[in-house]
Amino acid sequence: MPGSSRMPISLRNTLSAKKGGSSSQLLALNIDLFRNIVFFLFLLRWSRKALLKLKGRGVFGTFADTYIAVRRTLYGLFLRAPGVRSQVQKQVSEAITKLQTKLVPSGPGVVRYLTLPKDGWSEEIVLKELEALAEMDHTRWEDGYVSGAVYHGGDALMKLQTEAFGKFTVANPIHPDVFPGVRKMEAEVVSMVLAMFNAPAGAAGVTTSGGTESILMACLSARQKAYSERGVREPEMILPETGHTAFRKAGNYFGIKVHLVACPGPAYQVDLKAVSRLMNSNTVLLVGSAPNFPHGIIDDITSLSKLASKRNIPLHVDCCLGSFLVPFLEKAGFETELFDFRLKGVTSISCDTHKYGFAPKGNSTVLYRT
């Protein structure tokens, strides 16, 4: 404020020349520059995203995706509008009630135990209750009417499994010093499955609680590898739309963006050109199934492997369902194509011992090339 200062004019000038002149100008310039840099980076980031999107999905695909996203948002808003909302809630609660009547048994003779019993149960009561639970009205898997959910090797094997389980009921594999036998079993199971899939020397693996956990671990390891080796902070994976739902869970759990790729007829294998277009520097994992759950079709793993090794990106082969069948097709004289570690690009494989390995449910393996 000129005139209000008590500072001598001579001093005022030099000071203000210094302050108002060079340094504050410099500051303004710096802020301007900084703003421009931030804006440029912002522009760069979004144009890169837009270009990758165009490359990955093409003009039509990008347009379709945008249209679907906008429609979904608008529809979401519409469903929350007054008047509509109450209707939606009514229908949802009707659906839940319907599901409950189907899944939760009711009626005379059905007791629901929602708190601990006042007096402890005798062994006899426990057994009787378990018997009642096993006999509850259900889809008859025992007669072979359930596909893709129950894998068992007959009564004699089930009896043996039950006995085996009984020997290790309290065993906790996290303490290999307390349960050395469990560690030995795991190591040997893994070694057998590695050999089955022609793993090279130096390959490794672990047992897990099921195919879902095996797949989750493979995705997590691919994400971590990309982060530590290439600094990938916005990981993406490319999944055939016939891939198991566990991959989408992995996407959710571990913050990996999932690109779904069509599997067009008549082969219903994953569209390789689409996979190739979607690959970019954020890609941490490619996926193929051997075979997939919906159709029992094996993807073209040889070509996926070529794509993967060319760009040095891990490839997971989901052989959960194939488990102990697909590795033996060749030996059994069927026409087959390579799908395992003999293909250089294959870096991990999930194999469910609980499926055609006929181990009890609650066991699977995940194998890594290195």
Ligand X SMILES: *Cc1c(COP(=O)(O)O)cnc(C)c1O
Give the nearest distance from C-beta 319 to ligand X in angstroms: 8
Question: Stretches 161-169, 226-234, 267-275, 317-325: which one binds ligand X (CB under 6 A)?
Answer: 317-325
246 touches ligand X by CB under 6 A: yes
- Quick note: the x/- pattern for ligand X over 262-301, rule CB under 6 A, is ---------------------------x--xx--------
Among residues 207, 352, 366, 368, the one that binds ligand X under rule CB under 6 A: 352
Element (H, E) at 250: helix 245-254
Distances (CA, A) of 233 to 44, 55, 223, 286: 16, 20, 9, 17
* Cα–Cα distance, 324 to 189 (Å, whole number): 12
DSSP 351-368: E-TTTTT-PPSS-EEEEE
* Cα–Cα distance, 329 to 9 (Å, whole number): 97
Give the nearest distance from C-beta 302 to ligand X in angstroms: 19
* Cα–Cα distance, 349 to 362 (Å, whole number): 18
Among residues 321, 326, 346, 367, the one that binds ligand X under rule CB under 6 A: 321
3-state class of 25 per DSSP? helix
223 touches ligand X by CB under 6 A: no
320 touches ligand X by CB under 6 A: yes
Q: Which is nearer to ligand X, 210 or 345 (CB)?
A: 210
Among residues 221, 226, 239, 244, the one that binds ligand X under rule CB under 6 A: 244
Give the nearest distance from C-beta 352 to ligand X in angstroms: 5
* Cα–Cα distance, 171 to 165 (Å, whole number): 10
Question: Stretches 37-45, 133-141, 170-178, 315-323: which one binds ligand X (CB under 6 A)?
Answer: 315-323
Place of tokens 């050999």: 195
Q: Which residues bind ligand X (CB under 6 A)?
A: 210-212, 215, 244, 246, 289, 292-293, 318, 320-321, 352, 364
